[in-house]
Amino acid sequence: MTTPPPPSTPSTPPAPAAPVTAGRREWAGLAVLALPALLASLELTVTNLALPAIVRDLAASGTQSLWIVDVYAFLLAGSLITMGALGDRIGRRRLLLIGAVAYGLASVLAAYAPDAGSLIVARGLMGVAGSTLMPSTLSLATSMFADPRQRATAIGVIVASVSGGTAIGPLVGGWLLERFWWGSAFLLAVPFMAVLLVAGPLLLPERRDAAAGRLDVVGALLSLGAVLPVVYGLKRIAADGPEVTSAVAVATGLALAAAFVRRQRTSADPLVDLRLFAGRTFSAAAATLALGIFVLWGSNYAVAQYLQLVHGLSPLEAGLWTAPSAAGVIAGSLLAPRVARRIPPSVVIATGLAVSAIGYLVLTQTQGTGGLAVLVSGAVVVSAGLGPMMALATDLVVGSAPPHRAGAAAAIASVAPQFGGALGIAVLGSVITVVYRSRTSPADIPEAARGDLNAAVAVAGGLPGRLASGLLDTARTAFVQGFHVTAAISAVLMAGVALLVVVLLRGTPGGETLPADRRPADRRTDRQRAGRSTVRRIGRSVDR
């Protein structure tokens, strides 16, 4: 007698597999990925410190001095989307290594530039090469750490590395600038890139998107062309007031930006999957990153100038005074993922932004050549407040995208803060210039000293003691007034963004990655999905 088979029961789908936990090789690879992240901020910080020496030795004008800083950031920001898409196609590790070689060579060209124009060109090449580094870094980290908690920690380490560059950049750069010429600051990149070239092939996996199509060359040119005319126009408006040329440049950039967006919507192989922005978490986190770094980079640039040109500190002394603020960002970046396991990320981010707004209010109370403690204290509060935002918002951007679009999401997570930061230097730097020029007149100081404070310091160097002292007092007072205006603007922006984060990211869980079949544009809720799945199982049971 045979035993009858058991009655059939409705089959249930298998439970999703747990994410693979990263091992020693992945964590060692993360240490390698921290190198380009560290270099990204170290280079910009060192350039800010070296700028007075560069202006003096190369006789750079006020506009050229801004371009020496800005052309790197804007060509980097304008190329990030293209490089992120290129990494999806040729391999993210390969792109990272190619970029390391190009960045090292461009750094050597910058170090030995004979004039301001040549340095601006070399800095532009550094920006294009640098745009290969961060998208590859973030996308590789995302693919290496599939576990949400480990991924959040890994991104926190990368953000902390960026902050670490801000901390050690002034110290190392200041030490170099006091002992060697300003070009030595750019040569710092060479040993970093050498280590990356040796260790990268050994510890980093290769990742690419097998379904990626051809690279949209026209779209790449449009993305770059949309950035530079707008920046050029804004700078000309700040320096010379509204003019036809400036207005045409801004309008051209905006038109190219509109053409880029239209092309991405219709292209079969877009550089940017605009469907990612349909997700509220993705778009809100990206906007928060851009605005937060907008004020941070703008204020860091102004603080570096304040310490050297108003307080008269040497590059090394200025570096020592800026190190505490970088430590605040590192602490916030590393602690934020742990705090976000118990407190919603939106609350952590909004609280940090509110703290940074208070820090900017403190910066409005600096008093010329006195009150150095007030300046440093305000900068520390600002940085400590923005650290959690940088780590958690980056994780939300990358984690809310489907895995096969990791390169595109990482590119956006990179381009948002880089573009925001570059705009911050341009816009807030231009605000300081406008206020400076409005508070000085040919009756007070020579016309040659009205470009910016760097120009005033250069002119004062050729005047007798009493005349030089009077010129510097007037110029420094005008700069400080412009600095206060930008600090007040930054405080208002941070308070406003904190409110928006509470509204737009409320209830957003941290550390979760959407499965590949759930696009951000798909707004079905988990309950609806579960309900439909139950109906299908009941239907199969009835059929049987």
- Domain of 377 in residue numbering reads as 24-215+269-525
Question: How many structural domains compose the chain?
Answer: 2
Backbone torsions φ then ψ of 370, nearest 5 degrees: -105, 175
Q: Is residue 40 part of a domain?
A: yes
The CATH number linked to 37 is: 1.20.1250.20
Regarding whether 155 and 51 lie in a shared domain, the answer is yes
Regarding whether 141 and 105 lie in a shared domain, the answer is yes
Which among 489, 237, 187, 207 is positioned nearest to 364, based on CA atoms?
A: 489
At 224, list the tokens: 């770059």
- Residue 112: what pLDDT? 92
Beta bridge partners of 370: 367
Regarding whether 354 and 227 lie in a shared domain, the answer is no
Calculate the CA dihedral of residues 435, 441, 444, 447 and round it to 10 degrees: 110
Give the integer Cα–Cα distance in Å for 189 and 542. Answer: 68
Give the CA count within 13 Å in the CB-facing half-sphere of 124: 11
Q: Is residue 5 part of a domain?
A: no
Regarding whether 330 and 200 lie in a shared domain, the answer is yes
- Residue 343: what pLDDT? 82
One-letter amino acid of 138:
L
Which among 411, 464, 471 is positioned nearest to 138, based on CA atoms?
A: 411
Q: Where among 246, 268, 290 does a domain terminate?
A: 268
Give alpha helix (H) positions in 60-115.
Answer: 62-90, 92-111
Give the integer Cα–Cα distance in Å for 439 and 432. Answer: 11
At 385, list the tokens: 């407040």
- Residue 370: what pLDDT? 67
Regarding whether 284 and 264 lie in a shared domain, the answer is no
Which among 88, 69, 191 is positioned nearest to 142, based on CA atoms?
A: 88
Helix axes 116-130, 133-144, angle to 10 degrees: 20
Give the integer Cα–Cα distance in Å for 214 and 436. Answer: 49
Q: Report the chain (544 residues): mean pLDDT per 10 consecutive residues.
A: 50 50 79 81 74 80 74 76 77 86 90 88 88 78 75 75 71 78 84 87 77 74 79 68 79 88 80 74 83 83 82 77 74 74 84 91 82 84 84 77 64 74 77 82 73 76 76 84 91 90 70 39 41 43 44
Check: CB of residue 455 under 8 Å from CB of residue 449: yes
Give the integer Cα–Cα distance in Å for 5 and 384. Answer: 66
Q: Is residue 285 part of a domain?
A: yes
Regarding whether 207 and 262 lie in a shared domain, the answer is no
Q: Is residue 356 part of a domain?
A: yes
Check: CB of residue 454 under 8 Å from CB of residue 65: yes
Q: Is residue 539 part of a domain?
A: no
At 198, list the tokens: 């040796």
What is the SS3 assignment for 346? helix
Q: Where among 232, 252, 268 does a domain terminate?
A: 268
DSSP 8-class letter at 216:
-
Under 8 Å CB-to-CB from 175, ≥6 apart: which residues?
A: 316, 319
Which among 401, 398, 420 is positioned nearest to 279, based on CA atoms?
A: 401
- Residue 405: what pLDDT? 64
- Helix (H), strand (E), coil (C) string for 151-204: HHHHHHHHHHHHHHHHHHHHHHHHHHHHHCCHHHHHHHHHHHHHHHHHHHHHHC
Regarding whether 210 and 242 lie in a shared domain, the answer is no
One-letter amino acid of 132:
T
- Residue 335: what pLDDT? 77
Give the integer Cα–Cα distance in Å for 70 and 64. Answer: 10
Which among 438, 323, 300, 306 is positioned nearest to 367, based on CA atoms?
A: 306
Regarding whether 292 and 248 lie in a shared domain, the answer is no
Regarding whether 479 and 371 lie in a shared domain, the answer is yes
Regarding whether 309 and 408 lie in a shared domain, the answer is yes
Give the integer Cα–Cα distance in Å for 247 and 232. Answer: 10
Q: Is residue 408 part of a domain?
A: yes
CA 452, chain centre distance (Å): 26
Regarding whether 168 and 117 lie in a shared domain, the answer is yes
CA 505, chain centre distance (Å): 21
Beta bridge partners of 519: none
Give the integer Cα–Cα distance in Å for 45 and 299. Answer: 12
Give the integer Cα–Cα distance in Å for 458 and 338. Answer: 49
Check: CB of residue 302 under 8 Å from CB of residue 483: yes
pTM of the model: 0.68
Q: Is residue 230 part of a domain?
A: yes
- Residue 187: what pLDDT? 87
- Residue 362: what pLDDT? 92
CA 160, chain centre distance (Å): 13
Regarding whether 144 and 203 lie in a shared domain, the answer is yes
Give the integer Cα–Cα distance in Å for 484 and 366. Answer: 8
Question: First vs last Cα of the chain: how many Å apart?
Answer: 26
Q: Is residue 255 part of a domain?
A: yes
